[in-house]
Amino acid sequence: MSMHCPCASRVLPVEFRSAADNLFPPDGFHEGKGPSLEAAEAFAEALGVGGDYKQFWKARTSGQSIEGFLNSFQNNLDLLIQKTWVEKGDEVRKENLEDRVPPFITLIEKGEYAEALREFGAILDELAYLFFGDQRQKSDFAEYVLRIDPLFGLFWWYEGQINGGQPWIHSVNGDVLFALLLLGICYLTDF
């Protein structure tokens, strides 16, 4: 279940609403416009990963390699997946999710950001299932996760937004798509 609905941002604490609504307006994007780089940077600050976000954004835009950062992300994500306790019947899901991470990294390295963003959404959706099980499908998922931890809830709100099937994804430039990827990557690298 995607949390991409007008009611989703209303459950966010007030200190997150401005950053969240600027990144993904509750009434959607008009005239094919997607998120802005400024909104992504403000959201990174709200998510608690502003320093890392700026560091890796600067490295990428100045032509430096971010391979080490992507390796750290992959290692941490693999660790999260491996350490997640699941029922025996879901072990195959964990293995399949681990297998999806290297091709996702390859998409980023190739600069195929639209496809990488779609794949990241699918990876995060599967990770949410491993973390939360059937709770993921309930209508009060946003409130549930926000009660666990506000930043954790904001991250899963972000996940719901990138999984919302945005029709604008192909009209947005690669820098903005990379910025959207970088938000989640920074959060999970530091998780």
Summarised one tens digit per residue, pLDDT across range 108-126 is 999 999 999 999 999 999 9
Percent residues over pLDDT 70 in the chain: 90
pLDDT for position 26:
81
Number of structural domains (the chain) is 1
161 lies in which domain range? 34-190
User: Is 22 part of a structural domain of the chain?
Assistant: no
Residue 18 falls within a domain, yes or no? no
The answer to whether 130 touches 159, Cβ cutoff 8 Å, is no
Q: Is the dihedral of CA 130, 21, 151, 13 positive or negative?
A: negative
Spatial separation of the C-alpha atoms in residues 120 and 12, rounded to whole Å = 22
